[in-house]
Amino acid sequence: MAVQADIKGEGNGFKAKDFATNQDVRWCPGCGDYSILKQVQSVFAELGLDKDQVAVISGIGCSSRFPYYMETYGMHSIHGRAPAFASGLKMANPELSVWVITGDGDGFSIGGNHMLHVLRRNFDLNILVFNNQIYGLTKGQYSPTSEVQKKTKSTPMGSLDYPVNPSAFALGASATFVARSMDRDPKHLKATLHRSNAHKGTSFLEIYQNCNIYNDGAFFAFTEKSSKSENCLFLEQGQPLVFGMEQDKGVTIDGLRPTIVDLNNGYSKGDLWIHDEEDIFKASMLARFFDDPAVEGHLPRPFGVLYQSDRPAYEVSMFDQLDNARSQKGKGDLNEMIAGSRTWQIK
């Protein structure tokens, strides 16, 4: 993947440790959040971001403690609303590099509405969704991404909720950048974070994150060496969709249906679906590669950038309107405004 430096802060010379605060990190030992924090700090350093030009905005939940550990500007706001705070901040100061940290509950349950609207408006900011398919901070209830029949403290007989598909949700909200990565693949996570940062517009990055206390192993099918390559489809722009332990399985399109084919048995890479992240129709299908990995014949889960397109960022259009208003009406004059168009004299 292409690694692009942010022009704003290039050459500030901050190292990963310069992005760490002096506060004790209070996630449970073994939590996947540690890895994400580490990769974000090192990517910020690689990007040459200026820590005074970065704002990290979070909601509520385990993941939302993130800003306290980032030596940048930051706000730990209220449950589900981080996208709204970040949108306001971006409209106040479009120059800032703004990162929204949220989780599956914060982002898709209490904050689902804001997630929908921030994506369609396309502010130039980056959203990292730490998806652990559980409520950790409230000690183990099912989340909107938990699987059906999940047994938790609040669902002793199994959950009845059908889970949200985050990628499909984001595409449905007309997001301009949709990607997926995981806590246990630092290299992939870093590369994807670089892509998030490079995107002008709202970047939506779902990160599979292990909660080792309340939902340990939820993503092991994708993250553990033994099963990873059979279950994960790592997307590369312009490359055929290949996966499998021996890289000998491919995905092709049979009519309108994605189909798994065996590269050792009559198919070559030339027959396969070529990944084009700017193709919304292909991206929509990829987002539906959401099978349970335990089910026989399941499609592999895509990782990397599913979709990327360019659309003007909201705040850019907003500032254009302000400029247009000024060029049409001139800079506002308070006395003219207060007097209005109809006055009269009392002698």
Partner 1 sequence: MATKPIVKEAVTIKFAGDSGDGMQLTGGLFTSNTALTGSDLATYPDFPAEIRAPAGTLAGVSGFQIHFGSHKIFTPGDQFDVLVAMNAAALKTNVDRLDKTGTVIVNADGFDKKNLRLAKYEDTNPLEDGSLDGYDVIQMPITKLTRDTLADSSLGMKEKDRCKNMFVLGFLYWKYSRSMDETVDWLRGKFAHKPEILNANIKVLKSGYNFANTSETFATQYEVKAAPLQSGTYRGIMGNEALVMGLITGAQKAGIPLFYGSYPITPASDILHGLATYKHFGVKTFQAEDEIAAVCAAIGASYGGNLGITGTSGPGLALKGEAIGLAMILELPLVICNVQRGGPSTGLPTKTEQADLLQAMYGRNGESPIPIVSAKSPADCFEAAFEACRIAIQHMTPVVLLSDGYIANGSEPWLFPSADDIPPIKVSFSREKSNGTPFMPYSRDENLIREWAIPGTPGLAHRIGGLEKEANTGNVSYDPANHEYMVKTRAAKVDKIAELIPPLELESGDPDGDLLMLGWGSTFGTIQSVARKLSTDGYKVAHAHLRYLHPFQQNLGAILAGYKRVLIPEINNGQLSKLIRDRYLIDVVQYNKIQGMPISKSELEYAAKELLAQIND
Among 35, 39, 41, 72, binds partner 1 (CB under 8 A): 72
What residues numbered 324-343 form the site for partner 1, per CB under 8 A?
Answer: 324-326, 328-332, 334-335, 337-340, 342-343
Of the pair 65, 282, the CB lying nearest partner 1 is at 65
Hey, how many other C-beta atoms are within 10 angstroms of the C-beta on 203? Answer: 29
User: Taking CB under 8 A as the rule, does residue 78 contact partner 1?
Assistant: yes
Closest CA to 208 of 173, 166, 160: 166
Strands of the 249-254 sheet, one edge to the other: 242-243, 249-254, 257-262
Of the pair 117, 151, the CB lying nearest partner 1 is at 117
Of the pair 266, 330, the CB lying nearest partner 1 is at 330
Of the pair 157, 337, the CB lying nearest partner 1 is at 337
Among 95, 254, 292, 296, binds partner 1 (CB under 8 A): 95
Question: What six digits make up the tokens of 13?
Answer: 């010379």
User: Taking CB under 8 A as the rule, does residue 74 contact partner 1?
Assistant: yes
> In this chain, which stretch among 90-98, 173-181, 191-199, 269-277 interacts with partner 1, using CB under 8 A?
90-98
Name residue 323's amino acid.
D
Hey, how many other C-beta atoms are within 10 angstroms of the C-beta on 48? Answer: 16
Shortest Å distance, C-beta 16 to partner 1: 15
CA angle, residues 3, 195, 103, in degrees to nearest 5: 140
> In this chain, which stretch among 89-97, 144-152, 240-248, 254-262 interacts with partner 1, using CB under 8 A?
89-97
Residue 346, burial from CB neighbour count under 10 angstroms (0-12, 13-18, 19+):
exposed
User: Taking CB under 8 A as the rule, does residue 53 contact partner 1?
Assistant: yes
Closest CA to 117 of 56, 206, 57, 202: 202
Of the pair 60, 283, the CB lying nearest partner 1 is at 60
Shortest Å distance, C-beta 70 to partner 1: 8
Hey, how many other C-beta atoms are within 10 angstroms of the C-beta on 279? Answer: 14
Eight-class DSSP state of 94: T
What residues numbered 8-37 form the site for partner 1, per CB under 8 A?
Answer: 21, 23
- DSSP of 145-197, one letter per residue? TSPTT--BTTBTT---PPPP-HHHHHHHTT-SEEEEEETT-HHHHHHHHHHHH
Eight-class DSSP state of 275: P
Among 10, 52, 262, 271, binds partner 1 (CB under 8 A): 52
Q: Give the x-and-dash track for 230-269 against partner 1 (CB under 8 A).
A: ----------------------------------------
Unique residue bearing structure tokens 């960022």: 313
CA angle, residues 266, 300, 141, in degrees to nearest 5: 165
What residues numbered 280-319 form the site for partner 1, per CB under 8 A?
Answer: 318
Shortest Å distance, C-beta 277 to partner 1: 28
Of the pair 93, 239, the CB lying nearest partner 1 is at 93
Local structure of 143: helix, strand or coil: coil
Among 38, 51, 200, 298, binds partner 1 (CB under 8 A): 51
Among 114, 150, 195, 199, binds partner 1 (CB under 8 A): 114
243 DSSP β-pair partners? 249
User: Which parts of this chain interact with partner 1 (CB under 8 A)?
Assistant: 21, 23, 51-55, 57, 60, 67-68, 70-78, 81, 83-93, 95-96, 113-114, 116-117, 318, 321-322, 324-326, 328-332, 334-335, 337-340, 342-347
